[in-house]
Structure 1
Amino acid sequence: MFLRPYISLTRTNIHRGVSRLFFKASSTSSVVTRTQFSHRKDASLLIRSTTRRYSGSSEGDGVTGHLENSLLWTKDELSQIITKQGQAPLPPNLNDRILNQVQVLLLTVNKNEFNATKSLLEPLKGHDSIFTYHHRLDSLHSTDTAIYYIGQYGSCVAAISKIDPGSALRTGVSFAPNLAYHCFRNLGAIIAVGVACGVEGKSRMCDVLVSSKVVNYDKARVEGGGFTSRGEAIPASGYLQQIFSQSEWPHVSKDICSRLSETSLPEIHQGTILSGPYLIDDAKFKAKLLKSFAKEAIGIEMEGSGLFAATHQTRTHCILVKSVCDFGDGKKNKTYQPTAAVLAADCVRHVLSDPQVPGMLSNQTMMKNNYQSE
C-alpha cells in the first residue's frame, strides 16, 4: 500500500513556496506526485506528474542511497514562483530603518540556489512586497552593483544575494562579507545556502550538509603525484552549529518536506566540508582530495574557504548549509539541484524560525563571546 499525495500551492502561501498535502491510498508500485501551482485568479500554472523512487545501499554506513527520477522541484517551477513574488525597490525614506534591521545574509551562487532561497522569503511585517536594494561596489576598477532582496526569513530579517561561484573573483564570496558590512550595520550571521558534492557512504542524495569546519584544499604542497595539506581547518560559528544540531528538521517541516515519503526524508549531517576552486566530477581526483586533506569530510564545495577566511578575523558568525546534488563521480548533472536547493533553504528557514534567534543575533557582544574556535 502506497500513498499518492496531491499538492496545491495557494495564494496565501505562495511567498513561502509551501504546500498542503492530501493523501489517497494507491496500490501501485511507485509513488506518483502531482503538483499544481495557483496564484490569485490565475489558472493552474503547472500540473505535472512524476514517478519518484528511493533506492538505498548497505555500503559503508548505509546512507549511500540516492533519489531516482526525483523531479519534485524543477528549475522552471522555481522560476514560476519567483515571477509571482511581489517585490519593489526599497524606498529612500526607509533605507536606514530597513537596512539596520537585517540580521542575516543568505549567500547563493547558482540560479537554482537563488530561486529556491528567495521563494521562501516573505515581505517584512507591515509591508506587501519584498524589497530590493542596489548597492554599487565602491571601487576604482569596478562598476558592479550588488543586489539584495530583503524580507522575512523565518523569524529573522534577512537579505539574499547571488554571488559569482568560487572565492577569488571580485564579485565572489571573499568580497561579499565586507560589502555587506557597509550595508547592514547590525548583521549577525552569514549563511551560505545551496548545493554541494556529497561523499558516498556518508550522505544520500539531497541530504543536508552543515559545516562544523571548512578545510581549504587549495592550500597544499604538491609532490610525488599527491597533495600535502598546508592549511588549517577553520571552524564554523559555535552558536550556529548548536542551533542546527538541535533542529528537528525535516520531521517538523509541514510544507516542503511533506512532499516526501517518511522513508526518504533528508537527513542533516554536520561535519568537515572541503572547499576549493574546482568543480569536482572525477571519482579518482575526489578520492585523492579526501585522502590528502580530510578523510572525515562529508562534502565538497567551492565557496566555503573564501567565506570563512573573510569572516573569521572579524568573528562574524557564518556557516555552510548545502544539500547534496551529486557525488562528483563523473556523473554530474543538474537534475537534483532544484530539489536539493529547496531542501537546504527550507532547513535554514526552519532554524531561523526559532523566536529566540533574532534576539541572539541582535546582541553582538553575546554572539562574539559565544563564538567557539577549535
Structure 2
Amino acid sequence: MKVLILDDQYSKVETFCRVLNKLTPCKIDHVSNSKDALKYLYDNSDVDLLIVDLQIPEVLGGDVLVDGGVKFLEYIELNTSYQLPKHVVGATAYAESYCEYKEYFENRGWRLVQGTESETFFESLFSTIINYTRKEFQKFDIAIITALRKTEFEAILSLLHDLSKVQFKNDSNIYYIGSITISSGEIKSVIATSCPRMGIAAATALSTRILLRHNPEYIIMTGIAAGIKGKVKLGDILVAEPSWEWGSGKLTVREGKPTFLSSPHQLHIHSNLSPILSDLSAQRTYLDEIQHSAKELGLECSNQLNMHVGPVASGAVVLEEPETVELIKAQNRDTIGIDMEAYGVMASANYAYSNPTNSIVIKSVCDFANIDKNDDLQPYAAFTSAAFAIKLIQNHLFN
C-alpha cells in the first residue's frame, strides 16, 4: 500500500506511520509542504492513501496557512496533471477548521478527523480503508476479458484452473482472480471477466472500470471474430494492429443515393509488442501445440492454424452482409478481421490514464461475416485465441 503524508508536525507523522505499519506492509512517504506534495503526486500516480493536515505551508520554511491543505486538495482536483489518491484523510487539531471543512470532505467521500484522536481511533479508521482498498482496488499485473461468458470466457477458465470467483461492491459483474507463473518463475497476478453484453460500449465500460480500479500492466481480450476471406482462413488467430470503429463517419446523400463517408480513427498496440508478435507469426510459434491441444479437447478445424497481425475493424452489429464487409475493406485494404469490441478495449487503454496501458486484442476466425456463417467453429476459435494469449503472457510480455 502506497501512502503519502502531508504534515509539518513530526509527532503526528510518527503516529500515523506507527499505526499503518502495524496494520499492513506500507510504502510511506512524508512531505511537509504543498510544493513537495505536488511534485510527489506528479511523479507517482498510484497513491492509495493521502493523509493531509489542513494547516501546512506552501513551501519549505514558509508560513503555515490555516487552509493550506484544502487549497492543495482543490488544486489537484482541478489540475489534470495529477491523479487523485484513492483515499484522502484530512486532519486538523482546530475545532473551527474541522467544522468549516467537514462538509467539503464528506461531499467527496473523504474523511476529516481531529488530530487529537487516539491511536486506537486511527487504527480503526486506517484498518477500514486498508480492507476496502485490498478488495476494491487491488492491483493486478494482467487483466483478461472476453465479450461472451459462454464459449469465450469458458475457454479462459479451462486454461487458468486456479482462479477464484469474486464480486465487488456496486458492481454486478463476476470476476475471477488468481495468478500465472511466467517463464522466469515469477508469479503474476490475474483478474479475468466477461462483458455483460457484446459491443464496443460494453467493452469500453468494462475495460475502463478494470483499468481505474486495478491498474494492470496489460489488458488482453480474447475470443472470436469474423475473418476477411482471401486474407485469412477459418480458425486463424488474429491480433488487432491497428483497430478502428468502422461505423465512424458521416452518412450523406450523393447523386440521390445514401453515401457513407468513413472517418476511421485507428489505435495501435505498443510499438515494443509489434516485432514480438510479428516474429511469433512468422515462426508459427506455439501454433501446432495449440492446435494439438484443441484436438485433444475435441475441438477441430480442417485448416492448419496460423496467426496474423493486422488491421481489425470493430462495429456495433453482427455482420452477415458482403456489401458492408466491402465498405470496411475500403477503409483499410489490409483488413484481416472484423469484431465488435477491439476498438473499445484499445480506446479505454489509451484514454483511462495519461500514460496508456498496454492493450492486446487476440481473436480467432469463426466465420467470414456472410450469410453462410454458423456457430460450429466458435468453441475452437475461443480456445485457440485464449491459448495463444496465455503463451504470450507466460513467455514474452514480462521479459
TM class, shorter-chain normalised?
0.5 to 0.7
Classify 1:298/1:153 alpha carbon distance in 2 versus 1 (closer, same or farther; 3 Å).
farther
8 Å CA contact retained: 1:211, 1:273: yes
For the residue of structure 2 that corresponds to 1:343, the secondary structure is helix
Asked whether 1:233 is paired with 2:233, we answer no
8 Å CA contact retained: 1:253, 1:350: no
Equivalent position of 2:199 in the other structure: 166
- Aligned partner letter, 1:233: Q
Asked whether 1:207 is paired with 2:236, we answer yes
Classify 1:345/1:146 alpha carbon distance in 2 versus 1 (closer, same or farther; 3 Å).
same
8 Å CA contact retained: 2:145, 2:221: yes
Listed one character per residue, the Cα deviations across residues 337-373 of structure 1 (whole Å, up to 9, x for unaligned) are: 001100000111111111x634x6xxxxxxxxxxxxx
Asked whether 1:106 is paired with 2:138, we answer no
8 Å CA contact retained: 1:283, 1:329: yes
Q: Which has the higher helix share?
A: 2
Classify 1:269/1:263 alpha carbon distance in 2 versus 1 (closer, same or farther; 3 Å).
same
Give how far 1:97 is off: 8.9
Equivalent position of 1:312 in the other structure: 350
Give how far 1:255 is off: 5.5
Classify 1:132/1:202 alpha carbon distance in 2 versus 1 (closer, same or farther; 3 Å).
same
8 Å CA contact retained: 1:243, 1:351: no
Q: CA RMSD in A?
A: 2.8
For the residue of structure 2 that corresponds to 1:213, the secondary structure is strand
Asked whether 1:181 is paired with 2:214, we answer no
8 Å CA contact retained: 1:154, 1:352: no
For the residue of structure 2 that corresponds to 1:234, the secondary structure is coil
Percent sequence identity over aligned pairs: 24
Listed one character per residue, the Cα deviations across residues 271-320 of structure 1 (whole Å, up to 9, x for unaligned) are: 011111011111222112222x2221100001112222222123111021
Equivalent position of 1:279 in the other structure: 318
Q: Which of the pair has more CA radius of gyration? A: 2
Aligned equivalents of 2:341, 2:190: Cα separation in 1: 20
Asked whether 1:151 is paired with 2:178, we answer yes
Asked whether 1:245 is paired with 2:278, we answer yes
Which ranges of structure 2 fall in alignment gaps of 5 or more residues?
1-129, 183-187
Classify 1:240/1:97 alpha carbon distance in 2 versus 1 (closer, same or farther; 3 Å).
farther
8 Å CA contact retained: 1:104, 1:188: yes
Give how far 1:214 is off: 0.5
Aligned equivalents of 1:179, 1:302: Cα separation in 2: 19
Equivalent position of 2:377 in the other structure: 336
For the residue of structure 2 that corresponds to 1:118, the secondary structure is helix
Listed one character per residue, the Cα deviations across residues 140-176 of structure 1 (whole Å, up to 9, x for unaligned) are: xxxx4222111234624321111021122xxx11112
Give how far 1:106 is off: 0.9
Q: Which has the higher strand share?
A: 1
Equivalent position of 1:190 in the other structure: 219
8 Å CA contact retained: 1:154, 1:350: no
8 Å CA contact retained: 2:241, 2:268: yes
Asked whether 1:268 is paired with 2:302, we answer no
Asked whether 1:352 is paired with 2:383, we answer no
8 Å CA contact retained: 2:291, 2:305: no
Please report the TM-score for the alignment, with normalisation by the length of structure 1: 0.61
Aligned equivalents of 1:173, 1:192: Cα separation in 2: 9
Equivalent position of 1:16 in the other structure: none
8 Å CA contact retained: 1:249, 1:350: yes
Aligned equivalents of 1:328, 1:346: Cα separation in 2: 24
Aligned equivalents of 1:228, 1:166: Cα separation in 2: 22
Equivalent position of 1:371 in the other structure: none
Asked whether 1:222 is paired with 2:262, we answer no
8 Å CA contact retained: 2:349, 2:357: yes
Aligned equivalents of 1:261, 1:145: Cα separation in 2: 35
For the residue of structure 1 that corresponds to 2:232, the secondary structure is coil
Classify 1:175/1:94 alpha carbon distance in 2 versus 1 (closer, same or farther; 3 Å).
closer
- Aligned partner letter, 1:256: S
Q: Which sits farther off after the overlay, 244-253 or 314-323?
A: 244-253
For the residue of structure 2 that corresponds to 1:145, the secondary structure is coil
Which ranges of structure 1 fall in alignment gaps of 5 or more residues?
1-91, 124-129, 138-143, 361-374
For the residue of structure 2 that corresponds to 1:183, the secondary structure is helix
Aligned equivalents of 1:332, 1:257: Cα separation in 2: 21
Which of 1 and 2 has higher RCO (CA within 8 Å, sep 6+)? 1
Listed one character per residue, the Cα deviations across residues 199-249 of structure 1 (whole Å, up to 9, x for unaligned) are: 001111110000111121121122333322213211122233343333312
For the residue of structure 1 that corresponds to 2:159, the secondary structure is coil
Give how far 1:334 is off: 1.0
Aligned equivalents of 1:136, 1:302: Cα separation in 2: 28
Give how far 1:101 is off: 5.7
For the residue of structure 2 that corresponds to 1:245, the secondary structure is helix
